[in-house]
Amino acid sequence: MPEPAFQVIARRWRPRAFGEIVGQQHIVRTLGNAIRGGRIAHAYLFVGPRGTGKTTTARILAKALCCEGGPKADFDPDDPVCREIEQGSYLDVVEIDAASNRGIEDAKSIREACQVRPAGRFKVFIIDEVHQLSKDAFNALLKTIEEPPPWVKFIFATTESDKVLETIVSRCQRLEFQPIPDALIADRLEAIVKADGIQADREALLAIARLAQGGMRDSQSILDQIIAFAGKKVAEKDVLDIYGLASARELQDLAAALAKADAPALLALADRFHADGRDLLRIHADLQSHVRDAMLDAARSGGRSARLGAELGSDTLVRMLDTLQQAEASLRHGLSPRAVFEVTLLKAAEQTRHRSVDALIRDLSAAANGLPREPGQKKIGTPPPAGSPARPAPTPPAPRAEAASQPVSDGPPDEALDTGEAFDAPPAEAWPEPSTASAPKAVPETPPARPGTPEFDQALGAIPPGVRARLKESLGAEFSQLRPLKPGALRRPR
């Protein structure tokens, strides 16, 4: 008898029940609860990247609906109906490839098949890559998808949901399939190689998972190829040599040199990658992933992260990641990928020496905390340097005379200075001091005039209206207390 045909890992290890699905627990929980609670929708739209389990989950849902005693979420995968669904021979489960059945005539045949009662309880239509259907085919199915017969269930799968008509999406329950984390892919691959009697390093499996970019089917196809190359023992070097990847250690060294702006180390690593025949585009993508992880870590931990090997702020990491992303197209389509890669590394490293305008504004705002916040407020002095003796507070002089008896010019001054604070501005032209002969006689010290007292009203009335208006405009407040000024403290306007 002929030997059974070889089956690739992706087919031999395809999940057969909900419990075997990896990395899509939110999908498993949603469908399981819907089946147990009797809330099964008439149409589902499975959306997600390739190789994340959309078609496999659609088949498992069909098994749960059509199995003996169904619908039930914990069905037996070895049930005869379930085995027929796996083999594609069960008449009530119809799988359609929309890429080759995309016309209006195909849509009409689906609509007619919906009217025929199934042999079992449900008739399930699984339409893969549903975005390939033409607009006329979508429109022909609109009424059937919205109000199908009670025994019909539609399961659509697509990798490009933006190409599906909104009128179709609104009639379905949409479930998002996410890229599977590298650790879960590596765990699944480890279970596969153990069952098949193959020795594989954990680092090799993680490299395969990184290469698959979240797709379980892609990782299993890569593992098949690696086993064909390396035999029964798979090492990390085998994966790196075949696909031109950089090792995890090399990526860490590259990220550390980038964070420290170590140009010689960056160029040395770039030379090594080129000499070893590594895929620079793949290394560039892996480096972006490292910088992104550091950026997210900085956002969660107060604005700084040392994950790359040196402590960097979130704004620096954002600019660094933006520099790497902008160079991706040039690296992919440029005439000299090596030169583009080297220039990109140097530009990204230079971002560690730059400061964003927003950060500079924040620093200036923090430094300006000692400046006046409102018009007329006294300036707050800058604290003395650490270790220097504190400057004694200035002692305000005793009032010499009532402000009402001071000779006041009608010319508007540009500001009034507090007599108890030294003036920091450059010396300006001072008004001439009154001569001794014309100076009023000093009066005994009296308390400052307060609003509402006759002395205050008399002193306030003695100020010329123009001066009073200008002082109010400059100070931003009315008078609440009058104090005499030192001779020469009132300056001419500039």
pLDDT per residue over 297-326, tens digit each? 999 988 899 999 889 988 899 999 999 999
Percent of the chain with pLDDT over 70: 74
Q: Report the distance separating Cα 375 and Cα 386, nearest Å.
A: 31
- The answer to whether residue 431 sits within a structural domain is no
Integer CA distances (angstroms), 194 to 7, 199, 233, in order: 17, 7, 11
Full residue range of the structural domain in which residue 463 is found? 403-414+453-474+489-494
Question: In the listed set 176, 191, 214, which residue is the last one of a domain according to the structure?
Answer: 176
Q: Report the distance separating Cα 138 and Cα 165, nearest Å.
A: 8
Residues 26 and 144 in one domain: yes
Question: In the listed set 176, 205, 234, which residue is the last one of a domain according to the structure?
Answer: 176
> pLDDT-based confidence at 461, cuts 50/70/90?
confident
Residues 272 and 142 in one domain: no
Q: Report the distance separating Cα 410 and Cα 1, nearest Å.
A: 121
Residues 169 and 274 in one domain: no
Q: At 96, which amino acid appears?
A: I
Q: At 22, which amino acid appears?
A: V
Q: Report the distance separating Cα 247 and Cα 459, nearest Å.
A: 85
Q: Report the distance separating Cα 215 and Cα 24, nearest Å.
A: 12
Residues 24 and 97 in one domain: yes
- Between 391 and 359, the more confident residue is 359
Contacts for 124 with CB less than 8 Å, ≥ 6 apart = 61, 62, 65, 66, 92, 93, 94, 152, 153, 154, 155
> How confident is the model over 40-72, as pLDDT tens digits?
999 999 999 999 999 999 999 999 999 998 899
pTM of the predicted structure, to 2 decimals:
0.67
Q: Report the distance separating Cα 192 and Cα 186, nearest Å.
A: 10
Q: Report the distance separating Cα 277 and Cα 243, nearest Å.
A: 10
Give residue 357's pLDDT.
67
Residues 126 and 17 in one domain: yes
Residues 264 and 320 in one domain: yes
> How confident is the model over 224-268, as pLDDT tens digits?
999 999 889 999 988 988 888 888 899 999 999 999 999 999 999
Question: What is residue 63's DSSP assignment?
Answer: H
Identify any residues that bridge with 175 across adjacent strands, giving them in sequence order. 46
Lowest mean per-residue pLDDT among 166-170, 266-270, 471-475 = 471-475
Residue 27 has pLDDT above 50, yes or no: yes
User: For residue 328, which phi and psi values (nearest 5 degrees)?
Assistant: -65, -45
Give residue 474's pLDDT.
64
Question: What is the separation of C-alpha 394 from the centre of its chain, rounded to a whole number of angstroms?
Answer: 53
Residues 269 and 287 in one domain: yes
Q: Report the distance separating Cα 220 and Cα 214, nearest Å.
A: 12
Question: In the listed set 176, 201, 223, which residue is the last one of a domain according to the structure?
Answer: 176
Residues 143 and 292 in one domain: no
Query: Total domain count for the chain?
Result: 4
Q: Per the structure block, which two tokens stand in for 71?
A: 């619908």
Give residue 448's pLDDT.
60
How, if at all, do strands 93-97 and 123-128 pair?
parallel
Residues 36 and 152 in one domain: yes
Identify any residues that bridge with 210 across adjacent strands, giving them in sequence order. none
Residues 18 and 115 in one domain: yes
Question: What is the separation of C-alpha 459 from the centre of its chain, rounded to a whole number of angstroms?
Answer: 65
- The answer to whether residue 233 sits within a structural domain is yes
Contacts for 311 with CB less than 8 Å, ≥ 6 apart = 304, 305
Residues 236 and 269 in one domain: no
- The answer to whether residue 364 sits within a structural domain is no
Give residue 130's pLDDT.
93
Half-sphere exposure of 203 (CA within 13 A, CB side): 12
**Considering the chain, what is the average pLDDT of its residues?**
82
CATH value at residue 231: 1.10.8.60
Residues 168 and 189 in one domain: no
Contacts for 59 with CB less than 8 Å, ≥ 6 apart = 85, 86, 93, 126
The three-class DSSP label of residue 459 is helix
Q: Report the distance separating Cα 100 and Cα 415, nearest Å.
A: 84
Half-sphere exposure of 416 (CA within 13 A, CB side): 19
